[in-house]
Structures are given as structure tokens and as C-alpha cells.
């Protein structure tokens, strides 16, 4: 999936002041690209991911994800695009402890209305792509932190989703697990999944095809 952001502005209004979290950001991401968003805390990385995912709407400017004008449709329509096409993962993978790894991956597929057989096959395929098929029956608390993050990625990419957005996915991982996760994501990109990661982790530069640096809500030239 392609992503085009044009002159994005996002203002956060408080009783004391109006802060521009993003100030005229323009980026283009091609289908199958693996892009790292770098920058200090407060530079606008998470805000940019939120706008691309449709979790929020910009103050001005546009976000286009393939044929979807995310900045022009309402929140319900954005949620539908996210469910069908966009996977989002965070440092906290938000897995449900009472469910098995497989059941966690099945949840969004069931929300899409897939039949149980088709959903199960899609979930198993996603787990296999992330190299954790053998963990399908375990609970999240019974696997390592790196394996939990892989399960979170599997849930995000299962089914028809071809855009993966990740916010500090290796923040709680050691260097070996970080390299392993980035390597798995690079493999996903090589098979056509578009990946945009916001991270402070310097290891990303050994895997990402493109690095975009943000500073004070703007793209550094």
C-alpha cells in the first residue's frame, strides 16, 4: 500500500496554548517500502503514525492511503479502513492474556466477518510468517517478550492488511530480540507489506530502506 502525506498540520489546543505537533509534513511511501521515522521525543513521530492510521484527523493537509483519503472521511470510515487494511502495533502489544496466541490473532479477523475456517487459515499463515507457528496454543504470559511482539505483528498483518504501522515496537526488547523483530519486518516488506516504524532504536538503520527524521514537527532536510 502507498502512503502520501501532504502539508500535514496537527494542532493540539490547551487552555494555555496551541501547540503544533506537526507543522507542514510531506512524505511519500511506496508500496512495500520499509521506512523508519526517527526523532527525539516530541518530534511528532507518534502523531504522524496516528494520522496515517486514521486514529486522529489532521488540522489541515491530507493523508492518502492507497485509494483512501483518510483526512477527508469520518471516524467510522477510518476505523473500517484500519480494520481491513492497516495493522497498528505499539511497544505494549496489547495481547489479551486470557486468549491463546492464535486466538489473539483471530480477533480482528472475526471482526472482519471471515468464516471460522478462513480466519483460522489467515491467522496460522500470519503466525508462520512471523516464525512462531509452534506457539499458537500458548498464552502471552507463557512466551518471551520478543515472541509476544512477534505475535502482535502477526495479529496486525493477518488477513488482507498490507500496511503495518509500529510505534516503538522494540522499546522493551534487548538488542538480539530487536534485531530479530526488525529482520522479520524486513522480510514482510520484501513480500509487499508496507512498513512505517517510529523508533529511537539505532538498530533500525540496518534494516529500513529509508529513514525520515522529524524535528519539532517538521521533516528534517
pTM of the predicted protein model: 0.90
DSSP secondary structure, 151-201, as one string: HHHHHHHSTT--EEEEESTTTTS-HHHHHHHHHHHHHHHHTT-EEEEE---
Q: pLDDT per residue over 140-190, tens digit each?
A: 999 998 899 899 999 999 988 899 999 999 888 889 989 999 999 999 999
* Radius of gyration for the chain, computed over Cα atoms and rounded to the nearest angstrom: 17
What distance in Å separates the CA atoms of residue 155 and residue 151, rounded to the nearest whole number? 6
Q: pLDDT per residue over 56-91, tens digit each?
A: 999 999 999 999 999 999 999 999 999 899 999 877
Q: pLDDT per residue over 45-54, tens digit each?
A: 999 999 999 9
Amino acid at each position: 500500500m502507498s502512503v502520501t502525506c501532504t502539508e500535514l498540520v496537527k494542532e493540539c489546543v490547551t487552555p494555555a496554548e496551541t501547540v503544533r505537533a506537526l507543522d507542514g509534513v510531506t512524505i511519500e511511501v511506496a508500496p512495500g517500502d520499509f521506512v523508519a521515522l526517527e526523532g527525539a521525543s516530541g518530534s511528532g513521530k507518534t502523531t504522524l503514525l496516528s494520522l496515517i492510521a486514521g486514529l486522529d484527523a489532521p488540522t489541515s493537509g491530507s493523508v492518502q492511503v492507497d485509494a483512501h483519503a483518510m483526512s477527508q472521511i469520518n471516524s467510522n470510515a477510518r476505523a473500517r479502513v484500519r480494520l481491513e487494511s492497516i495493522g497498528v502495533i505499539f511497544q505494549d502489544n496489547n495481547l489479551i492474556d486470557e486468549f491463546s496466541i492464535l486466538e489473539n490473532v483471530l480477533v480482528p479477523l472475526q471482526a472482519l466477518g471471515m468464516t471460522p475456517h478462513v480466519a483460522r487459515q489467515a491467522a496460522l499463515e500470519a503466525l508462520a510468517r512471523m516464525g512462531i507457528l509452534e506457539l499458537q496454543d500458548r498464552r502471552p504470559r507463557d512466551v518471551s517478550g520478543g515472541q509476544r511482539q512477534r505475535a502482535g505483528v502477526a495479529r496486525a498483518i493477518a488477513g488482507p492488511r498490507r500496511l503495518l504501522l509500529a510505534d516503538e515496537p522494540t522499546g522493551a526488547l534487548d538488542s538480539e530480540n530487536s534485531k530479530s523483530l526488525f529482520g522479520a519486518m524486513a522480510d514482510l516488506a520484501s513480500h509487499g507489506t508496507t512498513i512505517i516504524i517510529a523508533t529511537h532504536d539505532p538498530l533500525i538503520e540496518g534494516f529500513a530502506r529509508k529513514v525520515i527524521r522529524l524535528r519539532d514537527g517538521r521533516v528534517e532536510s
